[in-house]
Structure 1
């Protein structure tokens, strides 16, 4: 897609492309983003503009030989680095290989661009190797480092880069954009819920609104409406028999958080705007029980997302059993 397909990216692009156009671009740019906000399209356009040898405007010309090479994914002066398949990190050898290449003469006679995706995956050794290059970069060489907004990157790398946060659009703008994509298939409350569950990242919201995925969420919420009054959380076990079980945990955490907001008379801040009856049902429990349930499910979520090698089935069964005990406890 063209950048114009993502209207919320136009101003950020203009801000950064202006430095490129006036030859004031920082040699190392660190872009943090919310996943699903169009980050790849945004950065690809910046890379293209840095490589373009013809444009005098903010946008690349898309016609020169350098642009054509980039668009065909064959530009010899562009290097994209991420963790290799099957590995959890970006190793020092990957950085060393690139460092040796960028000191060579540009094959197209223009800029050289290195995009390090998920930069926080660099090992400490890899980050230190990159640091040396960032301190004394070759001429006409630009680095773009990118990662999610909550990632952890070495402070020394931060200090050598110009940091830029790619913000998500306002909720109202995102709803209008999604309406154009879904032809009024969903209500405003459903669109808002999908966006808020996706940190207001429009492309993540589109994935959640895919008919099969959205139906899975609706079925899960319907099951909760039956399970909660009976305090029969074990009935949820069958919904965790597939690869998307972590989503169910995330969805339930959001619902519990909404119930706590409702009890604090902060209903306007709830995320699940299309599931108000379910939120109200959860809110009939006292604050102590709701808080205990929320922290129980949140802990499971964090464990499953951050710790490898866990017995996922055991964690889920423990959460379901503990949920029943919490709900049974006397007020």
Structure 2
């Protein structure tokens, strides 16, 4: 089966490809996803099916000339748009260049497909330029817009698209899938923790439990067990690279959230299932202290994600110093 490697994609693909088979596919499809759900593979398969000129089934034939061009990454009627190298956004010139091409005749005599990856990164001017094309789309032309479910695309663009959220698999299914991906043996609690830290996106969890990366998290948690009783957060600065500080911020926020759950007797919703002693230690803090620490580290997360050019070293030192003040 084509989806044996990512079995949770079977149903979403069938749902979306059925409209292609029945010749009623929407000209603009917006796919939101949890990053690491296999979104790229799904979208590429849909694009392949739209371009295939021989299949009478849900799957592309993979044999016709159009399929062969697509598989070899040389299909002249397929366009993938992402931010240009060194840039943080998709500019209006990229959209204009694409628009000029899609209004031309199809070079293979079939459909044209445009995939705008990370669509929310379009500038307002670029989005407005695309809007005009979505309102009067060229014949036999299909747009696929995709982005993380936390991103914000202009409402005017969303209103012109058929929106689809790529569902994530159930936790139990993902745990079983992860067990087959690694030679290293992990406990069910470790696998569940990796998945829950990754919003249950299997590919993101697979990346997290790569031995070196997973070991970094374990060491971080072990260090927390030592520094929290002494209120010596400052010593953490020497234990990790500032470039990887965002990972630690995300992990610590999840631990603080788990501590609040433990205090509220809602342990079944805990994310870090392999770090129960650490969660219990954090739960000895008052609700006020836990909330204050959470807000502090969450603010650092927002800064690191949304603001470029920040001095990460200063952010590290500030967060650690403020953590000691809060925990007094």
Instruction: Give the TM-score taking structure 2 as reference length.
Output: 0.98
Aligned partner of residue 258 in structure 1, secondary structure: helix
Measure, in 1, the Cα distance between the counterparts of 2:323 and 2:82.
40
Residue 103 of structure 1, CA deviation: 1.0
Measure, in 2, the Cα distance between the counterparts of 1:176 and 1:153.
34
> Which deviations, in whole Å up to 9, do the C-alpha atoms of 1:220-273 show, x marking residues without a partner?
111011001111101101134342111011111111110011001111101000
Question: Is 1:33 the equivalent of 2:33?
Answer: yes
Residue 215 of structure 1, CA deviation: 0.5
Who is 1:89 aligned against? 89
Measure, in 2, the Cα distance between the counterparts of 1:160 and 1:10.
26
> Which deviations, in whole Å up to 9, do the C-alpha atoms of 1:22-72 show, x marking residues without a partner?
100000000000100000000000000000000000000011000000000
- Checking the alignment, whether the CA contact within 8 Å between 1:3 and 1:41 is kept in structure 2 is no
Residue 304 of structure 1, CA deviation: 1.2
Aligned partner of residue 115 in structure 1, secondary structure: strand
Who is 2:62 aligned against? 62
Who is 1:153 aligned against? 153
Structure 2, gaps ≥5 residues long: none
Measure, in 1, the Cα distance between the counterparts of 2:204 and 2:220.
19
Measure, in 1, the Cα distance between the counterparts of 2:107 and 2:72.
16
- Checking the alignment, whether the CA contact within 8 Å between 1:31 and 1:144 is kept in structure 2 is yes
Who is 1:252 aligned against? 252
Who is 2:214 aligned against? 214
Measure, in 2, the Cα distance between the counterparts of 1:327 and 1:301.
20
Measure, in 1, the Cα distance between the counterparts of 2:283 and 2:255.
10
Who is 2:195 aligned against? 195
Alignment of 1:113-262 (within 5 A): 113-183=113-183, 185-262=185-262
- Which stretch shifts more, 37-46 or 182-191? 182-191
> Which deviations, in whole Å up to 9, do the C-alpha atoms of 1:160-204 show, x marking residues without a partner?
100000011111110011111125610000000000000100000
Residue 2 of structure 1, CA deviation: 4.5
Who is 2:75 aligned against? 75
Measure, in 1, the Cα distance between the counterparts of 2:52 and 2:242.
46
Aligned partner of residue 314 in structure 1, secondary structure: helix
Residue 281 of structure 1, CA deviation: 0.7
Measure, in 2, the Cα distance between the counterparts of 1:308 and 1:130.
27
- Checking the alignment, whether the CA contact within 8 Å between 2:92 and 2:125 is kept in structure 1 is yes
Aligned partner of residue 63 in structure 1, secondary structure: coil
Question: Is 1:301 the equivalent of 2:301?
Answer: yes
Deviating beyond 4 angstroms after TM superposition, the runs of 4 or more aligned structure 1 residues are none
Measure, in 2, the Cα distance between the counterparts of 1:15 and 1:237.
49
Query: What do you get for the CA RMSD once the two structures are aligned?
Result: 1.1
Aligned partner of residue 75 in structure 1, secondary structure: coil
Measure, in 1, the Cα distance between the counterparts of 2:289 and 2:41.
44
Aligned partner of residue 3 in structure 1, secondary structure: coil
Who is 1:285 aligned against? 285
Question: Is 1:98 the equivalent of 2:98?
Answer: yes
Structure 1, gaps ≥5 residues long: none
Measure, in 1, the Cα distance between the counterparts of 2:43 and 2:241.
37
> Which deviations, in whole Å up to 9, do the C-alpha atoms of 1:124-145 show, x marking residues without a partner?
1111111111111111100000
Who is 2:321 aligned against? 321
Who is 1:264 aligned against? 264
